[in-house]
A and B are shown apart, each in its own frame.
Chain A
Amino acid sequence: MSAGAAGAFAALVRRDLLLAWRRRGDRLVPLAFFVMVTALFPLGVSPERAVLATLAPGVVWAGAVLATLLGMDTLFRSDLEDGTLEQMLLSPLPAPVLVLAKVLAHWLVTGLPLVLAGPVLAGALHLPAHAQPVLVAGLLLGTPALSLVGAVGASLTVGLRRGGMLLPVLLLPLYVPVLTFGAGAVAAAAAGLPAAGHLYALGAILALAATLAPWAAAAGLRISVA
């Protein structure tokens, strides 16, 4: 990355964080959604400790996936509406770097709170304490991958009027591996089995998403903006 691109990357992350901070109420919606989705399961299934402990890995991960999905539509939309996105794509800076900066800022604002809330919610669902570090490690690896893959979907739907409705249909099939490995890691850890294999797979998915998704999302933005 050249100095210009690095500078633009840092500036864009700073700008997006500042914008998020000025509208901090909005950015907490995915977190609130995550908490509420998790709270539905004790109400809907059973408040029993044993039942909830079995459900905990899947519920927390499915909640994190859905909360990420909910926040994804905002990634490029305001920049498209005020014309910033067009200027970004017109600039000589490499578009994938700019996409990566936006995804990083977006993850810090919406993904990181999910990582922090995950163990609290899992604890409330009586997930054994020894599985908590695996949950946090899995969320740390998995939620950035969700944001990166989500950026591809967001880039393709940002120009559409019904884009927000279409996004879950596009993204949920792509989110399945993160969900299975993430929940699988926690379930294995809770059962006292080694979870490293699942975490390695999540790490591999993150590496793959970080290398391919910015390019795909940049190509998608060029189609949506044109």
Chain B
Amino acid sequence: MAWTFLTTRGLDGLAARWAPRLLAVSALLLVAGLYGGLVLAPTDEEQGEAYRIIYVHVPAAWLSLYGYVAMAAFGAVALIWRIRVAEVMMAAAAPVGAAFTALALATGSIWGKPMWGTWWVWDARLTSELILLFLYIGVMALRAAAEDPRAGARAAAILALAGVVNVPIVHFSVEWWNTLHQGPTVTRLAAPAIHPAMLAPLLVMAAAFMVYHAGAVLLRARCLLAREPAAALAEEAA
């Protein structure tokens, strides 16, 4: 019984129940995180108020990678066990992850203009994030191009997995090639190099984005399921 979410109807029911709750929780966290980040957190000594964009930029960048791994994991499940709902979840995860990638790029660019004096540099982090966006676009384009949605989803899953192998390689190839972006301050083995008063809202924002990701992916999955022929749903329910 517990595995009913592996049927399309089960997933539809699960998403119907959970997507609104997750989105509501994410909205609450978002309000709390933004209040903490924009009002409560102290002003940075060097960057002034401009640093506050990290409360959107850094969680978006984390989620861009998390979203890719989640998409590829759904793709792997879809390919290995041929589970249809995993195909739907993979297809639903692609645009959400791509949106976070685009958000990370846009906010980074807005921050870069006053701090680095330029909208864009061909830096390792920026370039690999841009390539990540292209990988997302490739996955979405491949899925959309296929006439049979199931074949399209499986083809896109293979591409997503090829991308997973490639992402660390891209990351290191460009890392050694050219770097301006600062190193990690939070996600490192030593203690975070950021003041706790600044860190707390950041983690709340990251939680808000993560819950939003889950809610948005489930909502998109419902939309994708709704577009599928009713016959396919009935067939699985029988």
Contacts and interface: CB of A to CB of B under 8 A. Distances in A.
B137 to A, nearest CB: 6
A210 B142 CA distance: 23
B169 A205 contact: yes
A174 B167 CA distance: 9
Contacts, number: 73
Contacts of A223: 151, 154-155, 158
A173 B177 contact: no
A177 interface: yes
B217 interface: no
Given A156-B159, A216-B158, A180 B177 contact: yes
Interface stretch (A47-55, A115-123, A132-140, A161-169): A161-169
B54 to A, nearest CB: 26
Given A170-B159, A219-B158, A226-B151, A160 B145 contact: yes
A172 B134 contact: yes
Contacts of A62: none
Range, interface on chain A = 20 to 34
B163 A173 contact: yes
Contact of A152 (B137, B146, B158, B176): B158
Nearest to B169: A177
B173 A152 contact: no
Nearest to A204: B169
Nearest to B168: A177
Nearest to A172: B134
Given A160-B146, A166-B142, A174 B177 contact: no
Given A223-B158, A224-B155, A156 B142 contact: yes
Contacts of B163: 173-174
Interface in A145-192: 149, 152-153, 156-157, 159-160, 162-163, 166, 169-170, 172-174, 176-177, 180-181, 184
Interface string B201-226: 00000000000000000000000000
Interface in B156-174: 158-159, 161-163, 165-166, 169-170, 173-174
Contacts of B151: 159, 223-224, 226
B131 A176 contact: yes
B10 interface: no
Contacts of A205: 169
* Chain A to chain B: the 4 pairs with minimum beta-carbon distance, closest first: A177-B173, A173-B134, A170-B138, A180-B173
Interface string B121-146: 00000000001001101100110011
- The binding surface of chain B is classed by DSSP as helix
Contacts of A201: 173
B169 A173 contact: no
Given A162-B145, A166-B141, A169-B137, 5 more contacts: A157-B145, A173-B170, A176-B170, A212-B165, A216-B161
A162 B146 CA distance: 9
B158 A173 contact: no
Contacts of A176: 131, 170, 173-174
A18 interface: no
B79 interface: yes
A71 interface: no
A142 interface: no
A223 B150 CA distance: 9
Given A173-B138, A220-B155, A226-B151, A180 B145 contact: no
B98 to A, nearest CB: 13
A208 interface: yes
Which of B135, B170, B177 has its CB near the most chain A CB atoms (within 10 A)?
A: B177
Which of A162, A173, A201, A224 has its CB near the most chain B CB atoms (within 10 A)?
A: A173
A224 B146 CA distance: 9
Nearest to A175: B166
Contacts of A216: 158, 161-162
A170 B135 CA distance: 7
B177 A184 contact: yes
Nearest to A152: B162
Nearest to A220: B158
Given A156-B142, A157-B142, A180-B173, A174 B166 contact: yes
B166 A180 contact: no
Given A174-B163, A184-B177, A169 B158 contact: no
